[in-house]
Structure 1
């Protein structure tokens, strides 16, 4: 499927609002470090960490929506730029990114630079996403990459990158939507929630992979056993 976007009007160089979605089952230090480093390498107003209610492309989470939100709230409570956002949990049905971006766009207004953060693997699947043609009409895309991860992209994605990737010297927050930034973060922590759940299921320690408050929550609620 071809993906087309309209051309945005110039913005006002406001700091970015970022959408960082996921199942957060559980939230771990890889999520948190990536979110924090985004605020260090880009001008950022807020990072909305948004647990999904019903993931369209993944298995159902092991913890409930309320438990995943509670763990996220514990994890970010001392980071003023990181916000645990429950808007997808309040919405019935599958958690489509385009609906969440529409909600954020309505909240912040037409001129606010807004970006969705996703990994390279998720970006590779973008042509299969619901209403993918609307995404760049609502926000920028920040695609997090790691060395050796730049596998071949589809023709549709190559065209999208050619037309909308941020050029040298351009600032992502100069316009409110419509650009793509491929970004490799300094730490690039490779932490897997699947691996953490397996450790916990084996009664092994997940210390240093999760915030201590999240570990205590998991222990007290007997999750992932």
Structure 2
């Protein structure tokens, strides 16, 4: 499995709160000694700073939370924040969508003309039983930022790195 973290300054105008350097270092620690995992800095290096860090250019298979599924074709989102190449992205890739935040994934798909257009038995694999993504990256950032102890949610090396570099400190 390949991990391709997005650049800190994304094409949709969002900026991650954690620097590319820290996110890259934490990823390296998280997958260290696992030969099944590989990290690729394509978005962070190759496309950084050119405002073209579109998901479409970097994936073939996408694992994401249901919150991102709801954002792909969200009509309430301003046009300049829409996912670039979203139709091509959906048409040409497969998705594993993890339950998150109580979002009704089949309802999200059924309400979107675009998602419905490409929905078949192979396009979207909805994981809503047994595994939940209620503990996501935002939860971890917020909890550590408030000084809570979350070592048990990640490898020790990653937790130690976060604490040493005060990655999510609110100061």
TM-score (norm 1): 0.59
Query: How big is the shift at 1:144?
Result: 2.2
Q: 2:113 aligns with which of 152, 156, 159?
A: 156
Equivalences for 1:1-225 in 2 at 5 Å?
Answer: 47-53=1-7, 54-57=9-12, 59-90=14-45, 91-92=47-48, 93-101=51-59, 114-127=60-73, 128-145=82-99, 148-150=102-104, 152-153=107-108, 154-157=111-114, 159-160=116-117, 163-166=118-121, 172=122, 179-184=123-128, 186-225=130-169
- The structure richer in strand per residue is 1
Q: How many residues align?
A: 154
* Structure 1 ranges of 4+ moved more than 4 A: 56-59
Deviations 1:104-125 (A, max 9, x none): xxxxxxxxxx422222221122
For residues 221 and 189 of structure 1, what CA distance do their matches in structure 2 show?
A: 26
SS of 2:42's partner is: coil
CA RMSD of aligned residues (A): 2.6
For residues 21 and 116 of structure 2, what CA distance do their matches in structure 1 show?
A: 40
Query: How big is the shift at 1:199?
Result: 2.8
Unaligned runs of 5+ in 2: 74-81
For residues 197 and 146 of structure 1, what CA distance do their matches in structure 2 show?
A: 16
Unaligned runs of 5+ in 1: 1-46, 102-113, 167-171, 173-178
Structure with the bigger RCO (C-alpha within 8 Å, sep 6+) is 1
- The structure richer in helix per residue is 2
